[in-house]
């Protein structure tokens, strides 16, 4: 028991003292996950909106596919990205395997369906409610889309937060394509996995604390945004 307590105490010290190793790992984690969310948003937002608004054969299937892809197992995504990026793979030329770039790619793939599916849901709900009214005003395509995006902005933001939550908490994909190389590709989750297996609980716990705070803050932010939006705009 006392061993655990002392580990917790050391962990808190590391966090409070802004231990350089810890800071480096946390910074890389944030950099990778935020980049992944950014890229996923650039694809997912327009894709989700398009699936919501454009009628095309097989749209129902596309919706099901997007929603199913939200549950992609991270290790499998990691494996596929690994195969694509490995020296003999189709994208091996890029030489990015075991770099943060590979980790960003893998997390983007994990996050994109979440953002796209939540965007589709948001935009299609609003579209159903607003469309006839907007048509009655003689609004053009761009005006209609911008109205939907604007009125859905808080829910869309919540989708981005959900994507960030998923990216920052996953370990399976980044450990495969990043390789958990010290000072190069070590992020919070992979370090926790490694240090725990080595029996070095101090750093693992310290990172655990940071990760919990991060995840809790992201979720709290999502709730607060939702509350504020519904209070302000009904």
Partner 1 sequence: MDERGEQRPVMPLEVSDLSYVAGGKILLNKLNFRLEGGVRTVILGPNGAGKSLLLRVCHGLLQPGSGNLSWAGRTPSQAGRDLAMVFQRTVLLRRTVSDNIAHTLGIMGVARQERSSRIDTALKEAGLSDLADHPARTLSGGEQQRLSIARARVLRPRVLLLDEPTSNLDPGATAAVEAMIRAADADGTRIIMTTHDILQARRLADEVLFLHKGRLLEHTVASKFFADPDTSEARRFLLGELLE
Which residues form the interface with partner 1 (CB under 8 A)?
Answer: 129-130, 132-133, 135-139, 143, 147, 151, 229, 231-234
- Between 139 and 221, CB nearer to partner 1: 139
**In the complex, minimum distance from the CB of residue 233 to partner 1, in angstroms, rounded to a whole number:** 4
SS (H, E, C) 86-125: CCCCCCHHHCCCCCHHHHHHHHHHHHHHHHHHHHHHHHHH
- Residues with Cβ within 8 Å of residue 84, at least 6 apart in sequence: 90, 91
- Contact of 189 with 170, CB cutoff 8 Å: yes
- Between 122 and 189, CB nearer to partner 1: 122
**In the complex, minimum distance from the CB of residue 134 to partner 1, in angstroms, rounded to a whole number:** 8
**In the complex, minimum distance from the CB of residue 109 to partner 1, in angstroms, rounded to a whole number:** 32
- Contact of 191 with 25, CB cutoff 8 Å: yes
**In the complex, minimum distance from the CB of residue 224 to partner 1, in angstroms, rounded to a whole number:** 17
- Between 99 and 147, CB nearer to partner 1: 147
- Contact of 191 with 207, CB cutoff 8 Å: yes
Instruction: Residue count of the chain, please give it.
Output: 234
CA atoms within 13 A on the CB side of 178: 31
- Between 87 and 232, CB nearer to partner 1: 232
**In the complex, minimum distance from the CB of residue 129 to partner 1, in angstroms, rounded to a whole number:** 6
- Between 61 and 138, CB nearer to partner 1: 138
- Residues with Cβ within 8 Å of residue 62, at least 6 apart in sequence: 51, 56
């Amino acid at each position: 028991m006392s061993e655990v307590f002392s580990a917790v105490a050391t962990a808190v010290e590391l966090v409070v003292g802004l231990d350089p190793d810890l800071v480096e790992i946390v910074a890389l984690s944030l950099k990778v996950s935020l980049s992944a969310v950014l890229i996923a948003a650039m694809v997912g937002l327009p894709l989700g909106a398009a699936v919501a608004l454009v009628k095309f054969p097989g749209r129902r299937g596309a919706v099901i596919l997007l929603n199913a892809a939200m549950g992609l197992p991270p290790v499998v995504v990691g494996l596929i990205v690994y195969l694509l990026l490995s020296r003999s793979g189709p994208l091996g030329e890029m030489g990015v395997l075991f770099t943060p770039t590979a980790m960003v790619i893998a997390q983007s793939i994990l996050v994109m369906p979440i953002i796209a599916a939540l965007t589709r849901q948001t935009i299609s709900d609003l579209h159903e409610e607003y469309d006839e009214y907007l048509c009655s005003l003689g609004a053009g395509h761009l005006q209609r889309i911008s109205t939907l995006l604007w009125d859905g902005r808080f829910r869309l933001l919540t989708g981005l937060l959900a994507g960030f939550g998923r990216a920052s908490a996953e370990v399976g994909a980044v450990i495969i394509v990043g390789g958990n190389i010290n000072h190069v590709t070590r992020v919070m989750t992979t370090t926790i996995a490694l240090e725990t297996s080595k029996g070095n609980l101090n750093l693992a716990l310290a990172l655990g604390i940071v990760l919990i705070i991060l995840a809790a803050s992201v979720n709290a932010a999502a709730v607060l945004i939702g509350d504020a939006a519904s209070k302000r705009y009904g």
